[in-house]
Chain A
Amino acid sequence: MGYVKKERIKSFQDIIFDLQRYWSDQGCVIMQPYDTEVGAGTSHYVTALKALGDDNWDVAFVQPCRRPKDGRYADNPNRTQYYYQFQVIMKPAPKNPQELYLKSLEAIGFDLSVHDVRFVEDDWENPSLGAAGLGWEIWCDGLEITQYTYFQQVGGVVCSVPPLEITYGLERVTTFMQNVESHFDINWNGRMDEKKLTYGDVLGRFEREFSCYNFDVASVDMLLEHFMDYEKECQKLLNHNLVLPAYEQCIKANHCFNLLDARGVISVTERASYIARVRVLAKSCCQAWLESL
């Protein structure tokens, strides 16, 4: 295939290096992942909270994401409960953001003259975060590889300086670049010899065990209690004006909810009420954050 460099394969880690280098050159601070379970890079406080307020803020980082319900015991080639996003936030958005994005694809080795890249409408909403924005899914030859969103509100608060969020699905981008069909076949380290490590080598066992944990074994009673504990702790910390630790409790509560959901113990009606409870926490944190600026 013309788009795979013959001499050396573009590895999973190469793509991360390239994106970090590229966005660093665009003036983004390169951070490391948030160290608690989140469903998306959006939940990282450097996205959710920093989206509010008037200050400029350009950042890029890899974020491992947990979506317990998406686990498939490593049986499905492209659905997993743990995966990586590459998240870019530019606040405010620059004047030529789409061009910057397309150049980033070239920076990781895409040949835009042979691929059909399209901006397909996306009304983005995150009900737990009270966040919404407009943008696109970016499709490459029919595959969605990126979400591109101009935030309009977070925590129910309108953004005074709307940030741009670009979220690459790193596994999707890589399967595309490496012309493989399954995430687990991704060449992680770029080696072609006996030292080659695939995504499956690195994360296969993790995926299998966590699928079992999420769906079959996680202690429901414990999670229910944790949810309430985190909820209480969040409120308490807000009373102490400790916004960031409070927000972290909110994220943890949300992950408990996601696990309970995967365990299949949350009915449709309860579901809405859990989401509403998390949203109340998120909103309170956003409010407190704004007031503290």
Chain B
Amino acid sequence: MRQELLIEIFSEEIPAQLHRRAISDSAAVFTSILKSYGASFSSVTSFVSPRRITLRVQLLVQRTKDISEQKRGPKISAPQVAIDGFLKSNQKEKSDLIELDGYYYLHVEIEGREIKTLIGDMIEDFILKMPWPKSMRWYLNDQKTLSAFWIRPIRSILCIYDDEPIEVYVESVGITTCDYTYGHRFLAPGKLEIIDFEDYFEKLAKSYVALDYFKKREYIFKEITKLAATMDLCVAQDDDLLDEVAGLVEYPFVHIGTIEEKFMKLPDAVLSTSMKVHQKYFALIYQDSVVSPFFGAVTNIPNTDVMRIGMDRVLKARLSDAAFFYKEDLDVTLEAFAQRLSNVVFHERLGSIVQKIDRMMSIANTRDEHRAIALCKADLPTQMIGEFPELQGVMGEIYARQQGETQSVSLAIREHYKPTSASDNLPSSLTGARIAFFDKVDTLVGLLGVGIHPTGSKDPFALRRTALGIIRILCDFEKDVLCGETLSWYIITLITAYSDQGVALAPTTLADVQRFAIERLKTHMEDKLGIDPDVIEAVIHSYNSLEFNYKAAIEKANVLSALIPTPEFQMVKEAYRRASGVIIERQRLPQDSVASLEFENIHMTNLRNSVMKQEKLPQDFDVSVRTARALLDACDNVLINDADAAVRKRNILLLNQFVMLIDTNFGVLSFLRSS
């Protein structure tokens, strides 16, 4: 197609979990590259499949734009370095500078260039700038050098622009671009000569390459669902697995496999985890969510009998292992496993898991709580968790039930890890919530206490998630979880428990933990609840951090968010602003002292009466609105700073009282930026 650019980076297999991200990253990177060259185009679309990243740019005009502009530089008063830098980056001389409105300007003219001549550089830039979590270099045999970094070795690069093949040498990977690509690795490995994108898409489709990742993903789910439905089964929804499986095949073929009946005695979580983690099979479930003896599998070529036998057999070997672990684990009591936790390190500076459990015990109340805490980590040394760490807690619950623990204890063992993510739900029982709370506070206290703080995107101990978990639990269960104590009490008690074990935490730990949690609350309110940052700041400053109440803070922020757009709120805010501007220092007046203030002026008398009402109903916003109205009225009509010192003092005392009342009950106002 005219004015269309098609580039395909053909490489060895791109890790499946990366496809989804690579699709958006590659389009974004190439868009910014095109812009950096001043290219005009309508859109960039990208496709990622196991062996290729494809970029399609539509309506890419043959020449980049001519640029003719007055480019603004530093202020005239700016240091010489800045001015020199400005000149240098635009390749101009000092005599070219134009002074205007206190700034330097340069007249810049850049002539447009032929896109064709820029494509090679664009590809180089793309290879350089495309972000990969982990990339590699390979040896370029002809050049005797190492390649640029890429996810896996690049084998060819297809490039067509404006219906013409573009041949350009891409030095960083030692490849000359060409006008052909290859089909499916096994089903259609031959060369495909390409004319344009439409031709490319069609030829690949005929050669068993499903270019559109999302359609491929959808197709896989639909096909497995269809096959499952014929057996009255459903597919256990698993987006991560679907993402990965879609990235593992150039073209999806779907089939149903069988699990030998004798393995069906294994817990469902073990069956589905083994299928998913080891084999990337989809568990098929009955209508009541129980795992059936069938699985859905996706292959890269049409399935054959030998393939089916092989796939069943591999799963059988995996499940034999799991069954062996399960049987061995059941021979040992959870108490015995719990004893082995003294060898499991919680953190090298904070001792073992047994020590963690001891600390959690020191803040527990009920018998169920003590029992659940004693066993909550006992599954960690089991063989099953050695094989499937993601089943921690899940196996604990299963083993607890098997040895006859109560429903409450068994459930709490599993749920004390919750919430495991921002979208995960909370523990369903109070015992579970309490233990989850203890565990998380203990982790936060210990790690922050030895100076381990997350930095940027690095949070190896998931402290941010831990703090958010605490906040969410407090919001949902507050009174019950805290059992009459404050969060600070729990933090202090745990700090003492650490110190009793000979672990000295920083003296600032209490404040550090509070501050850290409050920071998480801010992020939570802003990102998840969509509350205005100013409101959040205001609400948070209205608390003393030791008495911080997470649930009330969120409620307060919600109330405030609803009030802010109202004219009444704006009026109170204006009154507050004006009154604060007049008073010299805030002071709390004695009870009923306002009543004794006498005013001659009617406006001031009205205001005094209003303030007296407000004192009686300090938290009633409507009453405050009325006072605010009276106050604004007074300010408009009365000279507050009266020449008579006694009058002035009375006026100011009255305004002071209004400010104090608002501070105490709507203290958030002082932190709202005046707009």
Q: Decide if A143 is an interface residue (CB 8 Å cutoff).
A: yes
Q: Give Cα A117 to B186, complex, Å.
A: 9
CB distance from B12 to the nearest CB of A (A): 6
Interface string of B312-329 (1 = CB under 8 A from A): 011111001100100000
Q: Do A116 and B136 touch across chains, with their CB atoms under 8 A apart?
A: no
How far is A134 from B12 in the complex, measured between Cα atoms in Å?
Answer: 12
Given A116-B301, A152-B137, answer yes or no on A2-B306 (Cβ-Cβ < 8 Å). yes
- Does B307 sit at the interface, judged by CB under 8 A? yes
Tally inter-chain residue pairs, CB-CB below 8 A: 98
> Which of B16, B138, B249, B307 interacts with A162 by CB under 8 Å?
B138
Cβ distance B602 to chain A, nearest Cβ, rounded Å: 80
Question: A142's contact among B135, B153, B279, by CB below 8 Å, is which?
Answer: B279
Residues of A within 8 A of B317 (CB): 77-78, 181
Interface size class of A (residues with CB under 8 A): 35 or more
Q: Is B12 in contact with A92, judged by CB distance below 8 angstroms? A: no
Which size bracket describes the interface of B in this complex?
A: 35 or more
Docked CA distance A268–B347 (Å): 11
Instruction: With A116-B301, A141-B311 as known contacts, state yes or no: A93 contacts B306, CB within 8 Å.
Output: no
Q: Would you call A269 and B345 a contact (CB within 8 A)?
A: yes
Per a CB cutoff under 8 Å, which of A79, A92, A116, A123 touches B141? Answer: A92
Known: A121-B16, A152-B136. A95 touches B310 (CB 8 A): no
Flag A80-121 by CB within 8 Å of B: 1 or 0 each. 000000000000111100100000000000001111111111
Interface of A is mostly: loop
Across the interface, do B300 and A118 meet the contact criterion of CB distance under 8 Å? yes
Q: Do residues B310 and A76 form an inter-chain contact, with CB atoms below 8 A?
A: no
With contacts A92-B141, A112-B186, A120-B248 taken as known, whether A162 is within 8 angstroms of B297 at the C-beta atoms is no
A7-33 interface with B by 8 A CB criterion: none
**Assuming A119-B13, A121-B17, A134-B134, is B306 touching A269 (CB within 8 A)?**
no
Measured in the bound complex, the distance between the Cα atoms of B155 and A1 in whole Å is 36
- A267 in the interface (beta carbon within 8 A): yes
User: B311 touching A268 by the CB < 8 A rule?
Assistant: no
Chain B residues whose CB sits within 8 angstroms of the CB of A98 once the complex forms: 12
| Whole-angstrom CA separation of A117 from B390 in the bound complex | 27
Q: Nearest chain B CB to A124's CB is how many angstroms away?
A: 11
Q: Are A150 and B15 in contact (CB under 8 A)?
A: no
A126 to B614, alpha carbons, bound, how many Å? 72
How far in angstroms is the closest Cβ of chain B from A172?
A: 10
Q: Are A116 and B303 in contact (CB under 8 A)?
A: yes
CB of B146 closer than 8 Å to a CB of A: yes
Contact A95-B141, Cβ < 8 Å, known A120-B16, A141-B311, A142-B297 = yes
Residues of B within 8 Å of A120, CB to CB, are 16, 248
CB-based nearest B residue for A75: B324
Taken together as a complex, chains A and B put the C-alpha atoms of A113 and B300 apart, in Å, by: 11
How far does the Cβ of B491 sit from chain A's closest Cβ, in whole Å?
A: 27
In B339-374, the 8 Å CB interface with A consists of 343-345, 348
Q: Provide the bound-state CA to CA distance between A77 and B324, in Å.
A: 12
Q: Mark A131-154, 1 if CB is under 8 A from B, else 0.
A: 001101000111100000010100
- Do A118 and B315 have beta carbons less than 8 Å apart? no
Q: Does B580 belong to the interface (CB within 8 Å)? A: no
In the complex, whether B606 has a CB less than 8 A from a CB of chain A is no
B489 CB–A CB distance under 8 Å: no
Is B304 at the interface (CB under 8 A from chain A)? yes
CA distance A1 to B304 in the complex (A): 11
CA distance A2 to B310 in the complex (A): 13
Kindly identify which residue among A76, A115, A142 contacts B314, using a CB–CB cutoff of 8 Å.
Answer: A142
Q: Distance (Å) between the CB of A56 and the closest chain B CB?
A: 10
Q: A244 near B: Cβ within 8 Å?
A: no
With most chain B CB atoms within 10 A of its CB, the pick from A1, A117, A121 is: A121
Task: Please tell me if the beta carbons of A162 and B314 are within 8 angstroms of each other in the complex.
Answer: no
Q: Quick check: B310 and A143 within 8 Å, CB to CB?
A: yes
The answer to whether B344 and A150 have CB atoms under 8 Å apart is no
**Residues in B whose Cβ lies below 8 Å from that of A162:** 136-139, 146
Q: Which B residue sits closest to A136, measured CB to CB?
A: B13
Q: Which residues of chain A are within 8 angstroms of B629 by Cβ–Cβ distance?
A: none
CB distance from A221 to the nearest CB of B (A): 20
Across the interface, do A123 and B343 meet the contact criterion of CB distance under 8 Å? no
Q: Within the assembled complex, what's the spacing in Å between the Cα atoms of A98 and B10?
A: 14
User: Do A114 and B138 have beta carbons less than 8 Å apart?
Assistant: no
A45 at interface, CB cutoff 8 A: no
A268 engages B13 (CB within 8 Å)? no
Asked if B314 contacts A116 (CB within 8 A), the reply is: no
A161 within 8 A of B: yes
A-chain residues with CB within 8 Å of residue B13 when the two chains form the complex: 119, 121, 136
The yes or no answer to B488 lying at the interface (CB within 8 A) is: no
Contact yes or no, A140 B16, CB < 8 A = no
User: B213 to nearest A CB, angstroms?
Assistant: 16
Interface flag for A176 (CB, 8 Å): yes
**B299 contacts the other chain (CB 8 A):** yes
Q: Please name the 10 residue pairs, one residue from A and one from B, whose CB atoms are nearest each other, closest first.
A: A141-B310, A121-B15, A92-B139, A119-B13, A142-B314, A116-B299, A114-B304, A134-B136, A142-B311, A143-B314
27 contacts between A and B (CB under 8 A): A3-B306, A76-B324, A92-B139, A93-B138, A93-B153, A95-B155, A115-B304, A115-B307, A116-B300, A118-B249, A119-B50, A120-B16, A121-B15, A121-B17, A134-B134, A134-B135, A140-B310, A141-B311, A142-B281, A142-B297, A152-B136, A162-B138, A181-B316, A181-B317, A268-B344, A268-B345, A269-B348
Supply 16 further A-B pairs (C-beta < 8 A) apart from A118-B248, A141-B306, A142-B297: A1-B309, A2-B306, A76-B321, A92-B141, A93-B138, A114-B304, A118-B249, A121-B17, A142-B281, A142-B310, A143-B310, A143-B314, A162-B138, A162-B139, A179-B309, A269-B345
